[in-house]
Amino acid sequence: MPNREPDHGHAHTHGHDHGHGHDHAHAAKPTPAPSAAPVHAPGHAHGHDHGHSHDHGHGHGHDHAKRVPPSRLAIVLALQFAYMGVELVGGWWTDSLALLADAGHMATDVTALAMVLVAARIAQRPATRTQTYGWRRAEVLAALANAAALFAVGGGIVVEAFSRFSDPQPIDAVPMMGIALGGLFVNIAGIYALGTPGHGDLNGRGAWLHLISDALGSVGAVAAGAMMWKFGWMWADPAISLVVSALVLRSAWSLMRDAASVLMESAPAHIDVDAVREALLAEPGVLAVHDLHVWMIAWGDVSISAHVVLDTLRCAEAPDVLHRLSERVRRRTGVGHITLQLEPEGFIEDPVHP
């Protein structure tokens, strides 16, 4: 899960009221030189020479994103499933690649929305002894699968479009335009029902991108039909399909990049890790900061942890120092889930033993 420090021989287990447990493993082996008193955070009575604190802000330690309600996703799923069949039959009847491409995209919408609904249900499960962070990354995995489906659809459209350029097919343009126009209305209704998801709602954003791409695909199919009906431009069908596929692939890349960022435990783009380090070092008595980690359990669910080396004279003030450090980080980042370990000057961690 998050980037963790090595296991040095003894662990602290901390449970939190938001459903995430954390097993942090640290060891203390001070050098003979310092004679500092043990440093402990409030509420932690451990027999070693460092303080360890979890700070969770004002009752909740995560930056949860605004999420699309499952009921709205279910409405969009029903609309997409119903019209997908109409476009599949219409595309086969008129022999329109643009219409079939739009129907194929709708098919991925149906699959993606179903995955989103299932993942949302799984993500609501509480944390367990083994799943200490809960199940929220199920949504990230669904978003990754969603992106892969978009890539497959976009790539398939590109291959078929180039084959149509070399071998144009006769297309019944008027029915094609009517069916595509109906698909456009369905997608607009779906976008309205879904609303605008928060930036941190990966699956809601994935569903929204699907609908936007579908709506643009329907517009493209109407435009291609109009050009073929008015001017007899048979090349318009594969040409418009390539434009639609480019939009689909762009959406897929954006979604996959964000999902991979969470799975790779990258620091969120809006948090400057160097600025967090500087905020900690600005506290009087702080000599060094190491093992600073900023990561996401799920998109919008950010955690920060760090080891902070204190001047020995400040060790007796550990509770106050912890409070001030947590406030500094919270003001700088807006993150509430902050884990800080205080270490006296001269503290040396044991090496990792197998």
Residues of the chain with CATH 3.30.70.1350: 11-63+267-348
Q: Give pLDDT tens digits for 3-34.
A: 444 443 333 334 344 444 344 434 333 443 33
Q: Which ranges in the chain are annotated with CATH 1.20.1510.10? A: 70-263
Q: Which residues contact 163 (CB under 8 A, 6 or more apart)?
A: none
**Residue-by-residue DSSP string for 43-111:** T---SSS-EEEEE-TTT----PPP---HHHHHHHHHHHHHHHHHHHHHHHHHT-HHHHHHHHHHHHHHH
Distance of CA 13 to the CA centre of its chain: 27
* pLDDT tens, residue by residue, 136-157: 888 888 888 888 888 888 888 8
The class (CATH top level) of 11-63+267-348 is alpha beta
User: What is the tens place of the pLDDT at every residue in 223-259?
Assistant: 888 998 888 888 888 888 888 788 778 878 888 888 8
Selection from 2, 6, 4, 115 nearest residue 349 by Cα: 6
User: Two tokens at 41?
Assistant: 């955070």
At 302 the three-state DSSP class reads: strand
The rounded distance, in Å, linking the Cα atoms of 181 and 276 is: 52
* Mean pLDDT value across the chain: 76
pTM: predicted TM-score of the whole model, two decimal places:
0.64
* pLDDT at position 174: 85
The CATH number, out of the four listed (3.40.50.1370, 3.90.420.10, 1.20.1510.10, 3.30.200.20), of the domain defined by the range 70-263:
1.20.1510.10
Angle, alpha carbons 228-97-181 (nearest 5°): 65
Per-residue pLDDT at 259: 87
273-308 confidence digits (pLDDT tens)? 999 999 999 999 999 999 999 999 887 789 999 999
